[in-house]
A and B are shown apart, each in its own frame.
Chain A
Amino acid sequence: MVDALKKEDGFHTEEMVLNMGPQHPSTHGVLRFEVYTDGEVMRKAVADIGYLHRGIEKIAEKVGWHGFMPYTDRIDYVAAMTANQGYACAVEKLAGIVVPKRAEYLRVIAAELNRISSHLIAVGALGLDMGAATPFVHALRERETINDLLESLCGARLTYNYVRIGGVSYDLPEGFIARTIAFLDHFKPIVDEFNRLITDNKIFRERLEGVAVVSIDEAISYGLCGANLRGSGLKFDIRKDEPYSVYSELDFEVPVGICASGRGGDCFDRYYVRILEMYESIKILYQCFKQIPEGDILADVPRKLRPPKGEAFVRIESARGDMGYWVVSDGTDMPVRVHCRTGSFAAMGIIESLSKGLMIADLVAVIGSFDIVAPEVDR
């Protein structure tokens, strides 16, 4: 693999192969990269995935339609609510189950709270990767309150298993709305403070702006999605363009990259889209609490669910972009096939072509700006 570049005067330089991960402080879990470098400059960084492969899709074929729900938490543990919701939506589409309105609102509330907490980790961890430890701790401090809220809602802080096929497992606990609104009132200025602390920091912006620019065409051809796609400037959000659940009744913007450096689609754009999305999630949550109707939270779904023979594909907007579930039924109580399409997997694919000519320190920025969560890559 090492190509020696012989020079006329007898000196030669060699490519250095660095092994980054699977245990490395900034690979966000067990990711591994083979980094081919010339000193500090990378020739390429080849992603080596599979360290966290647990065969989750195969497990689905053994545990039944209802039983797979807790496993979806583990597909994306940073935003487990949306992973729950996507699977539930797919099965509901296949089985033709109509979800009560209140349950849809509860799903959206949980998912948006979870989206905020996921984005907090993403932007905080990017700060940590850039060497600033404090923004990360501030972000986690706020996430802690969201965890408390979601714990009061469903009893779990990370892997929620809140969504059921046909609805959700618990109704809102007493005082949840008031507490969440208190949190949101407090949280919005905190995002502004976070921007003052790190987003507007000159060093931080210099590190991210103009680094790893992805054009819209490139982003589409590599299948990037979610904030990574919008960072490149394409205004595409499943919640807006193919509304599912009750998103069509809610008013929110789809933020895109602001092209601060004049070249849209760099690391900073992808980072800043997440900051802006947190504001939008706050907006959605306020509306949800205003509009949430009374009623059932769970449709009448048999314990032994037997969806009719056929297949269904549903995609929803997870915190890491399109999350698509493809479910196939042969009419029994076990799925024939469940496949999950995730955003991080697509993002891993583009890193190799982006990494050429960047510095090693930039690779960390690229991984962080794509918000890659290792279990979502491998499943």
Chain B
Amino acid sequence: MQALIDSLVANCSSLQALPVSLVYAAVQALVAVLMFAGFFAPLAAILVFVERRVAGRMQSRVGPNRVGPQGILQSVADGIKLLLKEDIIPDLADKPLFRLAPYLVFLGAFLAFVVIPFSSKIVVADFDVSIFYLLAVESLVVVGVVMSGWASNNKWSLLGGMRAAAQIISYEVPVSMTVLMVVLVTGSMSVQGIIGAQGAWPWEWLIFKSPFTFVAFFILFTGSLAEGNRTPFDIPEAESELVSGYNTEYSGFRFSIFFLAEYANLYLIGSLATILFLGGWQAEPLVKLLGVQESWARHLLEFATYFSKVAALMFVVIQLRWTLPRVRIDQLMSLCWKYLVPACFVNLLAMSLWMIIMASAPAIVPLVISIVMATTGFAAFGYFFMRVKYHLDYAKAEITFNPLS
């Protein structure tokens, strides 16, 4: 990022008159605004659409297909509808907190995007402890959620808020422990550093580095599902129990903020796993093959690599949402504290030992282990996607069945 700005300043004479720090600040603010307006807002809209269409296919129905070609503009229509809705604040609500809460939820989700990279160079800010920062701002969400639950002056909302607080704080522990393990392996706390420690080929990814990182990936994924309030851990907004949980009393724009934050969170779930375990934007062989090391095409390629990994994970998350029932709060807690947290500790210890042992082993051994693990992992994913395809075809056959025809 810095290099980009430096070259910009060097090439543009009128910018040289200004103080350098001001240019940096201005460019970074501009990038942040562009990122929100040009990337994440449309991303959320597209994700909503994709989720509804995937849900439709899974449930033998069509999903939104009326607004625009194939219903692609449905989210836009919904967004406009939400903005036109009356903004209702309950009479006995704690009004300042009620107004503030959605923005805290929004802030928590979107501040995290500061360190989420697009490519090797394009990132708003990359500092030495950016992965720590990511975990920290993600926890800000819980403040907003509890606040909205409390301020709504609705017992169902309050229950939702309390559930969210308990859940998110509990699942911070396994997620942070897993991140700690990644930091241990890569020796870096910066997002770009962690990605830089991995390679483009699957066997260079952290997930296939050892059996313990493989387990850690699933712990992280489960943990971030719970932190993002996604099914099967969506108990704070459990529709059939708590009506809609902490956002029951919200309407109009404030509700759409919650909605936006939820889908930003979905992207974050995918991003976190991609950054830590799936090699992030690494696309070196592809870049070399096309000979675009020094051009913008390199960043485009890297972004495409990164995004396709995130998209695959997001698809899995969406699928889980429409397949699984919801766990109960006590089961959720026991899963976290009885299974995930001890597993994290064991994992961390085992990985440390593994690193000590592997340090003295010949260089070929870790590579072979990684390749074997990657092959197994991809075979499993391949089987999973075959199953998905089979059921999609099967569902299509079901739609056409009509004994009356």
Contact = CB atoms under 8 A, between A and B. Distances in A.
A138 to B, nearest CB: 7
Interface string B220-234: 000000000001101
Contact of A18 (B55, B155, B324): B155
A360 interface: yes
A152 B59 CA distance: 26
A133 B59 contact: yes
Contacts of B239: 25, 131
Contacts of A361: 235, 238, 241, 326, 328-329
Nearest to B166: A40
B96 interface: no
A-B pairs, 5 with minimum CB distance: A131-B326, A130-B325, A137-B59, A26-B240, A132-B325
B60 A359 contact: no
Contacts of B404: 145, 148-149, 152, 179
Interface string A126-138: 0111111110011
Which one of B59, B243, B331 has the highest number of Cβ atoms from chain A below 10 Å of its Cβ? B59
A242 interface: no
Instruction: Specify the main secondary structure of chain B where it touches its partner.
Output: loop
Given A40-B329, A207-B328, A25 B159 contact: no
Contacts, number: 101
Give the residue among A131, A138, A141 with the most B Cβ atoms within 10 A. Answer: A131
27 contacts: A16-B155, A19-B155, A24-B243, A25-B239, A25-B243, A26-B241, A39-B162, A40-B330, A127-B325, A131-B238, A131-B240, A131-B325, A134-B55, A141-B398, A145-B401, A145-B404, A149-B404, A179-B404, A183-B403, A197-B323, A198-B325, A206-B327, A207-B326, A361-B235, A361-B241, A364-B240, A364-B241
Instruction: State which size class the interface on B falls in.
Output: 35 or more
- Interface centre among B240, B330, B404, by most A CB within 10 Å? B240
Contact of B324 (A137, A201, A362): A201
A30 B59 CA distance: 27
B331 A129 contact: no
Interface in B368-405: 398, 401-404
Interface string A16-35: 10110000111000000000
A133 B322 contact: yes
Interface in A139-183: 141, 145, 148-149, 152, 179-180, 182-183
B324 A182 contact: no
Contacts of A183: 403
A186 interface: yes
Contacts of A16: 155
Nearest to B326: A131
A207 B238 CA distance: 14
A286 interface: no
Contact of B58 (A129, A134, A182): A134
A362 B162 CA distance: 18
Nearest to B231: A131
Contacts of A244: none
B218 to A, nearest CB: 15
B325 A204 contact: yes
